Amino acid sequence: MHKKHLGFSYKNQILHAESVAITDLMAVYGSPLYVYSRMDIENNWREFDQAFGDHPHLVCYAVKANSNLAVLNVLAKLGSGFDIVSIGELERVLVAGGKAGKCVFSGVAKTKIEIERALEVGVRCFNVESASELSRIESVARSVGKQAPISIRVNPNVDAKTHPYISTGLKENKFGVDMSNAIDLYQQAQDSKYLNVQGLDCHIGSQITEVSPFLDALDKVLVLLKQLKDKGIGITHLDLGGGIGIDYEGEQTIDIQNYIDVMISKVENIEIILEPGRAIVGNAGIFMTKVEFLKQNSEHSFAIVDGAMNDLLRPSFYNAYHQVLPINKNAKGIQAHWDLVGPICETGDFLAKNRALSLSEGDYLALMSAGAYGFTMSSNYNTRPRVAEVMVSGTNHQLVRQRESVQDLFAQERLYE
């Protein structure tokens, strides 16, 4: 069972991040605010790493989940690898102290410039998603006189039983190549002196809370692995992607040790790469917001907060659930089933619906499990500055991203003269 919110708990009725009262953080940094627990990030990564024991492996954190430099630096210091999907993510990892030789480069639309830069810094492997991409990587590698390390991402046509927007392993999804086409592509790569076949890659989706889809996909991948071996195509690692779900709403989650044990029992003598993102940072972060107004009518009770869909998109985008906790557990206010709505001029601008809370104007609320796909998906819609990010470690807290100013938002713009 994936542990929930160890870094966040009530002490003397006040919500704390590790040993720091959230009330203190709000006084220093203002609202809205993302708060991350360093302890949770480290513990979650180590849970994956240690579960492998002596089996050769690399845990590549999926940067898209939360790409703050401090988060990446904490993971780089542990020896983490990184799963990147853009040149921007690659440059972030390098600035944060991560090693290019531990980066796997995923994504369906790699440009010539991205491939060149990845080859220049010595990326560990390209996860190739199409025949066209394989040709492009080969031609770039030829032009710079290097050999590009590749693995091909296959689509095992397994239903991950998750939200359709984050399902990636079905034939109707844009990712990967059909299993039936993979052998020809591998043969093509094997025959090229500018490509170096290293791995076999598969990723079926995100927020998956049962182990069977992963094992179904693995079984299909192992059949392909044997076919490749029979053709003399050597694979040195299996990249089995990420997608392990976390507990947002009391979901049963995957026992990571059991999952990895089963995987190792099926895959002997070959390195395994995993790409967890949400499972490392999801429960290690919260989003803080302040109640500005309470508004009730005959049908609904609205708590209008200072955080909005531009700050935390998941509820609007996926209809996702985040547990809402008051900072002060004993707060007295108006008891009702509240919809938490933001300042943006869209009916879809909500953070939570129908939550039994006792609220007063001026209260602070925490949206839990907001460390993954929170800040990274935020925007400046309605000309709203993106919020500050803070990391807590024990009794210490530090600003890891300054709040944007309104002037920052149009600093790159010019009037037409």
CA atoms within 13 A on the CB side of 331: 21
pTM of the full structure: 0.95
Q: Is the distance from CB of 41 to CB of 345 less than 8 angstroms? A: no
Give me the domains of the chain, ranges plus CATH numbers.
8-37+282-409 (2.40.37.10), 106-276 (3.20.20.10)
Evaluated on CA atoms 319, 244, 127, 38, the torsion sign reads positive
- CB-count exposure of residue 387 (10 Å: 0-12, 13-18, 19+): buried
Copy the structure tokens of residue 174: 């844009």
Q: For the stretch 392-416, what's the b/e string if a residue is b when 16 or more beta carbons lie within 10 angstroms of its beta carbon?
A: bbeeebeebbebeeeeeeeeeeeee
Distance CA 144, CA 33 (A): 45
* Three-state SS letters, the chain: CCCCCCCEEEECCEEEECCEEHHHHHHHHCCCEEEEEHHHHHHHHHHHHHHCCCCCEEEEEEHHHCCCHHHHHHHHHHCCEEEECCHHHHHHHHHCCCCHHHEEECCCCCCHHHHHHHHHHCCCEEEECCHHHHHHHHHHHHHHCCCEEEEEEEECCCCCCCCHHHECCCCCCCCCEEHHHHHHHHHHHHHCCCEEEEEEECCCECCECCCHHHHHHHHHHHHHHHHHHHCCCCCCEEECCCCECCCCCCCCCCCHHHHHHHHHHHCCCCEEEECCCHHHHHHHEEEEEEEEEEEECCCCEEEEECCCCCCCCHHHHHCCCCCEEECECCCCCEEEEEEEECCCCCCCCEEEEEEEEEECCCCEEEECCCCCCCHHHCCCCCCCCCCEEEEEECCEEEEEECCCCHHHHCCCCCCCC
Distance CA 329, CA 245 (A): 28
Q: Find the Cα–Cα–Cα–Cα dihedral 13, 18, 20, 21, rounded to 10°.
A: -20
Give the pLDDT confidence score for residue 407 in this predicted structure.
Answer: 98
| Catalytic-labelled residue, pool 60, 125, 202, 345 | 345
Give the pLDDT confidence score for residue 180 in this predicted structure.
Answer: 86
Furthest-apart CA pair in the chain: how many Å? 72
Residues of the chain with pLDDT below 70 are 1-5, 159-174
- List Cβ neighbours of 67 (8 Å cut-off, separation of 6 or more): 89, 92, 376
- List Cβ neighbours of 327 (8 Å cut-off, separation of 6 or more): 14, 15, 22, 23, 26, 288, 363, 364, 365, 366
Instruction: Convert the pLDDT of each residue in 231-258 to its tens digit.
Output: 999 999 999 999 999 999 888 899 999 9
Give the pLDDT confidence score for residue 166 in this predicted structure.
Answer: 45
Instruction: Convert the pLDDT of each residue in 383-403 to its tens digit.
Output: 999 999 999 999 999 999 999
- List Cβ neighbours of 175 (8 Å cut-off, separation of 6 or more): 108, 129, 153, 155, 168, 169, 203
CB atoms within 10 A of CB 347: 8
Give the pLDDT confidence score for residue 1 in this predicted structure.
Answer: 37
Q: Find the Cα–Cα–Cα–Cα dihedral 409, 412, 415, 417, rounded to 10°.
A: 180
* Residue among 239, 346, 233, 340 at smallest CA distance from 291: 340
Write the single-letter amino acid at 243.
G
- Whether 103 sits among the annotated catalytic residues: the reply is no
Give the pLDDT confidence score for residue 160 in this predicted structure.
Answer: 64
Q: Is the distance from CB of 56 to CB of 411 less than 8 angstroms? A: no
